[in-house]
Amino acid sequence: MENQRIINISKKLSYHLRHAPEKIGLKLDKNGWADVSTILSKLHISKAELEECVAKNDKQRFAFDERHEKIRANQGHSIKNVDLELPISSPPKILYHGTVEKFMDEIMKDGLKPMSRQYVHLSAMIETAEKVGSRRGKPVILKVDTERMTEDGMEFRVSSNGVWLTDRVPAKYLSKF
């Protein structure tokens, strides 16, 4: 398949599996899984195209169940009642968050908030944070002191595609990189 077509399908999958399943009559179960057959008919794509899209996705955003009858997004949900049941994990001592200058006053006052998503998204690699920030303009990179957060009882989870997730990051654990 052409790269642009893969990207277009991936965007639709992200939208419906994370934010708006009802727009195409899709139902997510409590763990975020949706029927592959519904996706195929509503997005007018073949099983082979869906398989290729999942396999070639640059961030491995989607996962199939064992029999490839169900699919879900690995992270990024805004739907509140989806629980991926990710176990609590111990993160590297520092994680990074990429944002942009216009949000900085608010972030350094209120900390990082999940905004429209379930969690604040953090990464182990600076390069990833730079990419995330660049979606909005010139990236500003924040360091998150996860060691102190953990000492203070805060929890982290990691998605199967390596994105670190936490409920929020109070400003005292943040510093500019």
Out of 13, 112, 165, 174, the residue judged to bind ligand HQG by CB under 6 A: 112
Q: Does 121 bind ligand HQG (CB under 6 A)?
A: yes
Of residues 148, 160, 158, 177, the one with CA closest to residue 169: 148
- H helices present in 83-162, as ranges: 104-110, 126-134, 146-151
Interaction of residue 127 with ligand HQG, rule CB under 6 A: no
Q: List helix spans (H) across the chain.
A: 3-14, 36-43, 47-56, 104-110, 126-134, 146-151
Kindly state whether residue 16 participates in binding ligand HQG, applying the rule CB under 6 A. Answer: no
**Given 4, 115, 138, 151, the residue binding ligand HQG (CB under 6 A):** 115
Separation of alpha carbons 65 and 125, rounded Å: 28
Q: Does 107 bind ligand HQG (CB under 6 A)?
A: yes
The residues binding ligand HQG (CB under 6 A) are 14, 59, 61, 76, 99, 103, 106-107, 110, 112-113, 115-117, 121, 132, 136, 163
